[in-house]
Amino acid sequence: MTETPANKLTTKQQAILNFIRDHIQDKGFPPAIRDICDAFGISSPNGVMCHLKALQKKGHINRVEKQGNRQRAQARGITIPGVNAGGFSLPLRGVVAAGRAIEAEEQEERLELKDLFGGDDLFVVKVRGQSMVEGHIADGDYVVIKKCETCDNGDKVVAMVDRSMTLKKYHRKRDQITLHPMNAGMDPIPVDPAKQDVRILGVLAGVIRKC
């Protein structure tokens, strides 16, 4: 937007706007008021709200969140014209019991999937086949892999063997590598590093399954 004296930002307002923009683009959702307080050393949420109201009045942000039959402006409701959300997150609604029921507690947090699986240097591959079913990884699942070139015995890894990529349980003894399926009906894959090109692409960080 074109700056005029009426909508010109102070140094602090510009810094907060930049922070909000980066947060939306990186995480996929706007920061909470407490996030802005922490980032700028603002002790009172009211101080943040004053800056947000100024940014909204000057046309740099929109700040409306619908709740039931009424609307209430909150930090989580911030949008910036022309700024698209990146990343992927979902609302975190607390803990649910898989056994005896527990009392529900309302939360306003979000679950950022990149942070859940270990931050940067991640990639995802889709599983084809049933070789890892006893490791709770089924055909059609998506596995999140942490990039690395080394691993420990027992790690579940994505390995490249002579241009073929596979997900298996890794074991090395001296100069012999064995890639173990987690399916009693399938045989291990022996690999000779002296004769075959074998590389570790990453270690399993998590599994995503669509039901």
Dist CA 61 CA 77 (whole Å): 10
- CA 6 remoteness from chain centre: 39
Report the Cα–Cα distance between both ends of the chain, in Å, rounded.
44
Dist CA 27 CA 9 (whole Å): 25
Q: Which residues of 22-37 are buried (b: 16+ CB within 10 A; e: fewer)?
A: ebbeebbbbbbbebbb
Give the catalytic positions in this structure: 131, 168
Place of tokens 């015995």: 153
